[in-house]
Every structure is written in C-alpha cells, then in structure tokens.
Amino acid sequence: MAKIVVDPITRIEGHLRIEAQIEGGKIVDAWASGTMWRGIETILKGRDPRDAWTFVSRFCGVCTTVHSIASVRAVENALGIQIPDNARIIRDLIMGFQTVHDHVMHFYHLHGLDWVDVVSALKADPAKTAALASSISDWPNNASVGHFKAIQAKVKAFVESGQLGIFANGYWGHKEYRLPAEANLMAVAHYLEALDWQRDIIRAHAMVGAKNPHPQTFLVGGMSIPVDPNSQNAINAGTIAALLDCAEKALEFVEKVYIPDLLAVASFYKDWAGYGSFGNFLSCGEHPDANGKYYFPAGIVMNRDLSKVHPLDHKKFAEYVSNSWYSYAGGDDKGMHPWDGETTPNYTGPKTTYKELDTDKKYSWVKSPRYDNQPMEVGPLAKILVAYASGHADVKGVVDMVLKKLDVPATALFSTLGRTAARGIDTLLTAKKLQGWIMELAANIKKGDYRIANTDKWDPSTWPKEAKGVGFHDAPRGALAHFIVIRDGKIANYQAVVPTTWNAGPRDPRKQRGPYEASLIGTPVANPEQPIEIIRTIHSFDPCMACAIHAVDASGKEIVQVKVR
C-alpha cells in the first residue's frame, strides 16, 4: 500500500492538495485539502448590504460574475424586492454569457490537456488532421491543411526551445493518453482558437456589464445600466445588434468546435464512464422567466435515483468544521445553518515542511456543507441530472443524443466522463438561449418598457429592524448560495456556501467523505509518479478553491490595511 500526494493541483483557481492511498493499483481512500485561508465573510460584517455584491465579487478572479448576482439576490430576498423584467433579462444575459465562456475555457484550457497529449501533435500528418477535423465539423479552419501545419510549427518551436509556456504542465507521453496524433493536433489548434474566440464573450459582458471580469452594473433592486433607444450611452438598437452578433458567434463555436471535440475525445475514453462517480446531486435552478419559472429547475437527486426529484429546501443546509481549520463556539461537531454560521479560523495543521497531513484531525481550510446531513455534488452534472429527471425536454433531447453518439448507457452520467459531458450539454443549451433573451429584451424596449431598477426599498429607513435572505445562482461550477442577516440596516452575518465547498469539503463528524474524496475511490492509477487519473477526476469538477476558502495569514499576522470610505 502506498500513499501519493498531488500538491498543488494545477490549472485551477487557488490551492488544492490531494492525498490518495493506493492498493493493488487502485485508489482505496482519498483526502482533499484546501490550503489557503481568506475571511471576506468577516470583512462584510457591519457594512451596508447594498455594497456587499462588489466586495464578494472579489472572492475569485475566475468566477467573475457569480458572487455578485447571488449577493444582490440575497439582499432582495431579505427585503422582498421584485426586480423589473429588463433587469431580469440582462442578468440572464450576463450569467448566460459567463456560463458559455467559462465552460469552453474549462474544456480547452483547464481540463482538455488531461486527455490531449500536446507533444504527440508533433507526430501528426496535417493533411490527415484536416481530413479528421472536416469529417466531424464544417468549422472554417477544419479543412485547412495550412492551418494545422502552422499550429504544428508553433508547438514544435515551443518544444525545441525547452520552454513549453502554456503547455508546460502535463504528463506528456503518459501511456494513458489515447488520442491519435491527428486528434491531438486538432485539439491543440482549437485550444488556441478558443483563446481568440473568447474576446466576443468578453465584449458582450462589457456591453451590458461595463467590464469583464467583474461586471459593474449589478444593483440591489435591478441593474444600473440604462435602457433607452434614443441614447448612445444606454442599451439601444445598436447594443441589441451587437449582442446578437456575440450570441451567434458563441453558439457557432459551441456547435461546430466544442461539442464535436468533446464527443471525439470522449469516444477514446469511454471506460471513464466507470470512474469518478458520486451519488447525491443538488441544483438550485437558474434563469427565471417573467413568471418566475426557472429554465434549469432546482431540486435534489439522491442515491442516483432519477425516478424522483426532491424539492430544494435551504433550511436543510448545514456546514461542519470537524475536519476543517475553523472553530465553532458551540462545538466543532455541530452543524450550523449559514444564517447562524461562523467563520473563525483555527489552524492546527503542520507548522513546517511536511510529507503528509494528519488526516485523522483537521486537514483543510474548506468547510463541509451537508444537505439533510448528506454530502452533495453540485455543478453541471447535478444541474443536468436534476433537469433530466424532472422531464426537461431540451435537456433530455441533448443528453439522449450524447449517450447515443458515445454508445453508453444512462448510468455513464454518474462518472468523470458524465461530468465532463454534462458541462458541454449545459454550454450548448445555454448558448441556444442567448438569442431568445436578447430578443425578449428588444421586445420590451420596442413596447416602451425602459424600467431597469426597483428603488422602492432602496432607503434603509424602509427596511425592517431585522431581515434574513438567501440568494441562489447555479453558477458554472454549481449551486451557489449567499446568506445574509441584516440588522439595523447593516450586515450582521454573511456566509457564502459555494460550489467548491460542497465538492471539496473534507470528512464530516459522521466520517462521510466529500464528493472529491469519494469520487476518487476505485480509480486505477497506472503510474503513481504521474497520477494523471487523479487530475482527470478532480479537474472534471472544475475546482475553484479561492471561492471555497473562507486577509490574514494562518498565524493571524496583519498583511495590509485597506481603509474604505
């Protein structure tokens, strides 16, 4: 029996360590440790709730919009604010473009290189690559032999210089890389094209959000960007046309590059439908329409049972810190609902260089959220499974198409392969919705509806003495919830239960593993010196540790003071 450590897990946001016990060439136990600390929840106490969204947006530099929307929804929920239709649509657009952008970037730049051997692309025949690429899609560059020759030459220059640059982190040549050289060259070419393509998504965010990352037009009660067909400084006909152009380019790339590549790569790794599994799934729903119905429904799937979707009830949320570097005043073995939550650091881990964590004690900066005392997976797979089990026609159609193309059963969804496929399905369905939302906004403007914010309860004098709220957003990485307690017009408590906290949390008092830990059990590891199999499953969740860790260092030393007027 041997124990291997992967620290840090690269190509993610933040710091994550995985320790895995290997027996007979398979993982028999695993531990996930978040190795950084931040205390923004504490920073928010005593501040104006209307300002919270701009602070929490800085939880992360990758999740550029998600915390802002969850925060304003939490305050609106606490105060009973209904936002105008235009604000709802613009929020849908911002979040929709974010989802498409985030998932495409994840597939090509964070997760794709776990399956694609970049160096192998040097052995490819560019003519055969063009033939392969054009056989699966009519994307313009796919038929160009010259294009693939140029990409190959660029990779060759990297390799010969000894500086792989953006391709530096990889176990190139690992025997578990299975794509033929031509498929590797095709994927590398699309990796680079995706870097150029993303500019149009960022342009859309700039038009309705003022900037990317961290759009600046959110507002408690709606949005701050005006709608006025007669103003050049507002959303007008020109904005609508430009947004439609961005949406068209987004959908074209997803349909002609991302989805064909996803299916092509997956066809060589179908055994991964048997690894990386978990059983419980939580989705908080996303994209409400004018009647309050969500395009992606909220719900719970337990024990892989797709015959029943349980309703979501946030009162069943509880966060534990029995194995996390925090302390609770009432005892670390007690679960706390986020409205009552505490974020008090209690670092008891190793003080100097160490080989292994003492995993019988506290071993992570990530808390352990539980739903009705059960660990839950969140993310695109949970979103798609809840929708599929709910009978969502659009979701069912695409899921069944993917299963048929790959010739795998529905049980394949509960896996690393299913998790990666679900992200593509989420992307495709969201990209198809973008144009509809834009046209809905155009129709509102045409009929003279320019309302963008509800300011009836903007003045704190109109608020109750105490109010509690929760704001949900099914972000690219999964179900996100911000909980706020407002007292005397100020934030009395604030807790964010984020996707990676659900997925990366350590064991709870009942010794139940979190989804990262549980999903690794049973996975074969061909070469413990190059544990690409661990990387594949962990990357399929798309970790964002910066969001999960709850700005001082572990010893409490002050690093910097920031004075906010």
Q: List alpha helices for 486-543, DSSP H.
A: 499-504, 515-520, 532-540
CA 24 to chain centre: 33
Would you state the structure tokens that stand for residue 362, as one six-digit string? Answer: 């506290």
Share of the chain above pLDDT 90, in %: 84
pLDDT digits (tens, 9 = 90+) for 302-319: 999 999 999 999 999 999
Domains of the chain, first to last: 2-322+336-548 (1.10.645.10)
The beta-strand segments (E) located in 184-303 are 218-219, 222-223, 281-288, 294-301
**Would you call 249 helix, strand, or coil by DSSP?**
helix
Write down the pTM of the prediction.
0.94
Q: pLDDT value at position 214?
A: 85
As a whole number, mean pLDDT of residues 231-251 equals 96
Separation between Cα atoms, residue 564 and residue 352, nearest integer Å: 35
Instruction: Show Cβ contacts of residue 447 under 8 Å, excluding neighbours closer than 6 positions.
Output: none
Mean pLDDT, rounded, of the chain: 93
* Predicted confidence (pLDDT) at residue 401 exceeds the cutoff of 50: yes
Would you state the structure tokens that stand for residue 17, as one six-digit string? Answer: 């360590």
CB-based contact 35:365 (threshold 8 Å):
yes
Q: pLDDT value at position 557?
A: 42
Would you state the structure tokens that stand for residue 7, as one six-digit string? Answer: 């620290």
pLDDT digits (tens, 9 = 90+) for 71-96: 999 999 999 999 999 999 999 999 99
As a whole number, mean pLDDT of residues 153-179 equals 82
Separation between Cα atoms, residue 81 and residue 75, nearest integer Å: 8
Would you state the structure tokens that stand for residue 349, as one six-digit string? Answer: 């881990």
CB-based contact 474:98 (threshold 8 Å):
no
Residue recorded with tokens 């969201």 = 430
Comparing C-alpha atoms, which of 20, 15, 10, 16 is closest to residue 356? 20
User: Could you give the count of Cα atoms lying within 13 Å of 365 in the half-sphere of its Cβ?
Assistant: 21
Decide: residue 25, CB within 10 A, 0-12 exposed, 13-18 middle, 19+ buried.
exposed
Q: List alpha helices for 80-136, DSSP H.
A: 85-105, 126-136
Comparing C-alpha atoms, which of 73, 54, 50, 65 is closest to residue 292? 73
pLDDT digits (tens, 9 = 90+) for 457-497: 999 999 999 999 999 999 999 999 999 999 999 999 999 99
The beta-strand segments (E) located in 204-293 are 218-219, 222-223, 281-288
Phi and psi, residue 495, nearest 5°: -140, 135
Q: pLDDT value at position 165?
A: 65
- pLDDT confidence bin for 164, thresholds 50/70/90: low
Q: pLDDT value at position 565?
A: 34
* Predicted confidence (pLDDT) at residue 551 exceeds the cutoff of 50: no
Separation between Cα atoms, residue 249 and residue 266, nearest integer Å: 24
Residue recorded with tokens 């608020």 = 463
- pLDDT confidence bin for 553, thresholds 50/70/90: very low
As a whole number, mean pLDDT of residues 359-372 equals 96
pLDDT digits (tens, 9 = 90+) for 262-300: 999 999 999 999 999 999 999 999 999 999 999 999 999
Residue recorded with tokens 């987004």 = 250
* Predicted confidence (pLDDT) at residue 105 exceeds the cutoff of 80: yes
CA 248 to chain centre: 23
- pLDDT confidence bin for 63, thresholds 50/70/90: confident
353 DSSP 8-state letter: -
Please indicate whether residue 10 or residue 82 has the higher confidence score (pLDDT): 82
Separation between Cα atoms, residue 523 and residue 528, nearest integer Å: 12
As a whole number, mean pLDDT of residues 531-542 equals 96
Separation between Cα atoms, residue 515 and residue 180, nearest integer Å: 32
Residue recorded with tokens 């949320």 = 317
Separation between Cα atoms, residue 541 and residue 517, nearest integer Å: 12
pLDDT digits (tens, 9 = 90+) for 188-212: 999 999 999 998 888 999 999 998 8
Q: pLDDT value at position 556?
A: 41
* Predicted confidence (pLDDT) at residue 112 exceeds the cutoff of 60: yes
Strand partners, 320: 368
Separation between Cα atoms, residue 518 and residue 29, nearest integer Å: 8
Q: pLDDT value at position 242?
A: 97
Separation between Cα atoms, residue 280 and residue 377, nearest integer Å: 6
Separation between Cα atoms, residue 3 and residue 23, nearest integer Å: 9
* Cis? peptide before 8, omega within 30° of 0: yes
Separation between Cα atoms, residue 379 and residue 399, nearest integer Å: 16
**Would you call 497 helix, strand, or coil by DSSP?**
strand
* Predicted confidence (pLDDT) at residue 10 exceeds the cutoff of 50: yes
